[in-house]
Amino acid sequence: MSESSCQHLRQTIRHQTRERRRALLDTQQQQAATAVCSRFTAHPNFANTHAIALYLSVDGELSTAPLIEACWQAKKQLYLPVLHPFCKGHLLFQRYQPHTTIVTNRLGINEPQLNCSEVHPVNQLDMVITPLVAFDRQGNRLGMGGGFYDRTFSHLGSHVQRVGIAHDLQCYPKLPTAIWDQPLNRIFTPSELFEWPAKSV
């Protein structure tokens, strides 16, 4: 497939999947988020994972609300992505606690108000839970198109677990990939757990 038809197909998949995700009913959304939270906290790695980055859901993304509550209950340290104020396309990860002030960024996504003293080096996290639009059975992920997580992962050691959470409808047999795509180690959906061994880089 040519580079331009690959990019075109990726855009079509993004558009179609985001539309299907937005069409989910509130009850379907809630059931899905609860099911993923139960699977996530029952996974054998949960007990040994202390510093976790996740995100605040938008646009029909699987809600992270139950997961955030469960992690705080289990005394995990949570972090959220913040758009880098100068470095376009890059993310910072900032501590998220119940009292953290949340603001809406220029892309319409909620994030903590930037406080440099609460920003944490991503290499020192145990796990990054990424938002995603679509994924495939090989662990490839397609995001909203900003390249934020591919950039984050491109200089990250394999000791940081790369995890996705998604609705079942976001799964494709095989996605068209780009050379910069960074595959995930594990993806939870309401009905399945996908796991791939970490690749040493």
Ligand X SMILES: Nc1ncnc2c1ncn2[C@@H]1O[C@H](COP(=O)(O)OP(=O)(O)OP(=O)(O)O)[C@@H](O)[C@H]1O
Tokens read off for 3? 């580079």
In the list 148, 153, 188, 194, the residue contacting ligand FFO (rule: CB under 6 A) is 148
Strand-pairing partners, residue 1, are: none
In the list 15, 113, 123, 145, the residue contacting ligand FFO (rule: CB under 6 A) is 145
Q: What one-character DSSP code corresponds to residue 45?
A: T
Q: Is 85 near ligand FFO (CB under 6 A)?
A: no
User: Which is closer to ligand FFO, CB of 57 or CB of 189?
Assistant: 57
Q: What one-character DSSP code corresponds to residue 133?
A: S
In the complex, minimum distance from the CB of residue 201 to ligand X, in angstroms, rounded to a whole number? 12
User: Which is closer to ligand FFO, CB of 40 or CB of 149?
Assistant: 149
Q: 108 touches which of ligand X, ligand FFO, none (CB within 5 to 8 A by kind)?
A: ligand FFO
What is the Cα–Cα distance from 150 to 137, expressed in whole angstroms? 18
What is the Cα–Cα distance from 76 to 10, expressed in whole angstroms? 35
Task: Give 12: exposed, middle or buried? Use CB within 10 Å, 0-12, 13-18, 19+.
Answer: exposed
Residue carrying the six token digits 């994972």: 49
Number of residues forming the site for ligand FFO (CB under 6 A): 17
Q: What one-character DSSP code corresponds to residue 113?
A: P
Q: Annotate each residue in 37-76 with x if it binds ligand FFO (CB under 6 A) or - if it does not, as one string.
A: ------------------xxxx--x---------------
Residue pair 189/171 in contact by the 8 Å Cβ criterion: yes
Q: 151 touches which of ligand FFO, ligand X, none (CB within 5 to 8 A by kind)?
A: ligand X
In the list 62, 109, 134, 142, the residue contacting ligand FFO (rule: CB under 6 A) is 109
Q: What one-character DSSP code corresponds to residue 57?
A: -
User: Which is closer to ligand FFO, CB of 1 or CB of 145?
Assistant: 145
In the list 9, 107, 193, 201, the residue contacting ligand FFO (rule: CB under 6 A) is 107
The helix or strand, by DSSP H or E, that contains position 136, with its residue range, turns out to be strand 134-136
Read off φ and ψ for residue 87, nearest 5 degrees.
-90, 95
Q: Considering only 24-32, 144-152, 174-182, 186-194, which stretch makes contact with ligand FFO by CB under 6 A?
A: 144-152
Residues at the site binding ligand X, with contacts judged by CB under 6 A: 142-151, 154, 178, 180-181
